[in-house]
Structure 1
Amino acid sequence: MTESGLRLTVDGPVARVVLDRPEVRNAQTPAMWRTLAKFGERLPDDVRVVVVSGEGPSFSAGLDRRLIAGEPADGEEPLLALGAKPADVVHAEIAGFQAGFSWLRRPEIVSIAAVQGHAVGAGFQLALACDLRVVTPDAQFSMREPALGLVPDLGGTQPLVQLVGYSRALEICATSRWVEAEEARQVGLANIVVPAEELAATVKDLTEALLAPLPGAIRETKALLLSAADTSYEQQLRAEREAQQRRLAELVGSFG
């Protein structure tokens, strides 16, 4: 499936989402976010791993500059045009944009961002929406929204804090500075840094490793880890008990 500068391919348990606008460093538009949401809605139930990557030398340079500069782009109105709309309309529109990113965190899939070159603004947030990030030495992350008078609103704030902590997350966002690959690895933004020529093979190996355990075990484990930071210790112990009971019941049923 190809739509709005995006490609989706599904090969059994593996889906691949490719940002395919290399001529503008995979700059994003609201149409792309709506299409991403459609991809999530239409994903076959047997997909277990989703790989997100960008065509060409950059993962994504963020929002299309024309929309930031007050110009229409590909039929989309400038970003600031939202500011003249009623609050409930703005909230609904942004919620629709966020849906293009949030499905990557669903417990039934593990998502991998394969990042090379720039991952700026919406590109940074798309990488953050994924569970794992494999990056090349030239990868550079930057949260540019505050520099434009805006806030990151595509779901990137929570995973950023979870990965690097509040203080460092604030510093990264408030300064809009570049976080290069090695620092990203050191602070937990990147799981691994590999040479560009090894990116595809590394992602393939990681995908195969993620497919090895039973899908229910990965689904339940991801759900437990996602909830861990927001629950008390006793609540987490209960969640572990309940998840293990479900796993044991499923395993007994499969061998019965």
Structure 2
Amino acid sequence: MTTPAQDTASPAPGDLVFEEDGVRLAVRDEIAVVTLTNPAKRNAQTPALWRALARAGRELPGSVRVVVLRGEGQSFSAGLDRRAFTPEGFPGDISFFTLAKAPEAELDETIAFYQEAFTWWRRPDLVSVAVVQGHAIGAGFQLALACDLRVCAEDARFAMRETSLGLVPDLTGTSPLVGLVGYGRALEICATGRYVEAAEAARIGLANLVVPAEALDAAVTEFTSALLAAPRNAVNETKALLQGAVHRPFDEQRAAERQAQGRRLRELMGGE
């Protein structure tokens, strides 16, 4: 018998593109669903899973406008598979023990390769939505942060445990976390490793929407429908403007708005 949280993790219907190494990609029309498929291990992450996530980004059809990221079972993702901290590591992959002794350039290159799984979600031609139930810990938290938006069940719990382990969040999570909750709160969350419950996540801007677990599927359907309601080019231009607003001076941002609006007007009115 499954719990409501398990039921809500079922992917939306779609045509299967591939399924490998704990990741499934299905596409229907303008929506792609990427699902983590190892609920027995609470969707713990491995280098093989990261390669599959990076592949999902490469294989998205051009028709896709919204990407939904889900995890099967009771947890979105409980973080890094603990085999990473054993001398044996993962079969077929370099162990972290070996990696720690590698030359600096090799170490940097390997981590950059791992980060590829977490970067494509921010592409300007897509809007990505993480659907979070249960645990989103460490790498799981960073994967949720990799998406543009987060829809959460009431039992969602976020925690950044890397610092507690003597490490740092290195899977692209630091920038979006600071952008969402501010430097002081981001530092406190990372340095203490504490849980951020769903209600707090909504209050501080980490979650866009929190609903009961049994309502999660319906909420995601309604949410994605709303994202698809506006014309694609208008959404893409707006996303690019908002992403740029983080680092542009005010006058440069005003200029970017004018240029984007000019492009929209020309397209809408049939100008050259």
TM-score (norm 1): 0.96
Q: 2:254 is matched with which residue?
A: 237
Q: 1:109 is matched with which residue?
A: 126
What amino acid sits opposite 1:32 in the alignment? L
What does the per-residue CA deviation read over 1:87-141, in whole Å, with 9 as the maximum and x for residues that have no partner?
1111111111111111001111101010000000110000001111111111110
2:117 to 100, 106, 109: 100
Q: 1:21 is matched with which residue?
A: 38
Q: 1:198 is matched with which residue?
A: 215
CA distance in 1, matches of 2:100, 2:236: 39
What amino acid sits opposite 2:111 in the alignment? I
Q: 2:229 is matched with which residue?
A: 212
CA distance in 1, matches of 2:221, 2:97: 40
What amino acid sits opposite 2:255 in the alignment? R
2:73 to 56, 61, 67: 56
Q: 1:119 is matched with which residue?
A: 136
CA distance in 1, matches of 2:198, 2:87: 32
1:177 to 194, 200, 224: 194
Q: 1:34 is matched with which residue?
A: 51
CA distance in 2, matches of 1:46, 1:201: 23
**Partner SS for 2:78:** coil
Cα gap change, 1:74 to 1:206, in 2 (>3 Å): farther
1:249 to 237, 260, 266: 266
CA distance in 2, matches of 1:93, 1:149: 19
**Partner SS for 1:177:** coil
**Partner SS for 1:18:** strand
Number of residue pairs matched by the alignment: 255
What amino acid sits opposite 1:30 in the alignment? P
Structure 1's unaligned 5+ residue stretches are: none
Shift of 1:74: 4.2
Q: 1:159 is matched with which residue?
A: 176
Q: 2:167 is matched with which residue?
A: 150
Q: 2:12 is matched with which residue?
A: none
Write out aligned runs for 1:70-109 (5 A).
70-109=87-126
What does the per-residue CA deviation read over 1:230-250, in whole Å, with 9 as the maximum and x for residues that have no partner?
010000001111111111122
CA distance in 2, matches of 1:66, 1:72: 5
Structure 2's unaligned 5+ residue stretches are: 1-17
CA distance in 2, matches of 1:149, 1:62: 15
Q: 77-86 or 201-210: which moved more?
A: 77-86
CA distance in 1, matches of 2:100, 2:27: 38
**Partner SS for 1:77:** coil
CA distance in 1, matches of 2:193, 2:115: 21
What does the per-residue CA deviation read over 1:130-176, in whole Å, with 9 as the maximum and x for residues that have no partner?
11111111111011111111111111000000000000000000111
Q: Contact (CA 8 Å) 1:67, 1:77: kept in 2 or not? A: no
CA distance in 1, matches of 2:233, 2:42: 37
Q: Contact (CA 8 Å) 1:4, 1:31: kept in 2 or not? A: yes
Shift of 1:229: 1.3
- The CA RMSD over aligned residues, in Å, is 1.3
CA distance in 2, matches of 1:27, 1:248: 47
What amino acid sits opposite 2:110 in the alignment? E
Cα gap change, 1:253 to 1:70, in 2 (>3 Å): farther
TM-score (norm 2): 0.91
Q: 2:239 is matched with which residue?
A: 222
Q: 2:62 is matched with which residue?
A: 45
Q: 1:129 is matched with which residue?
A: 146
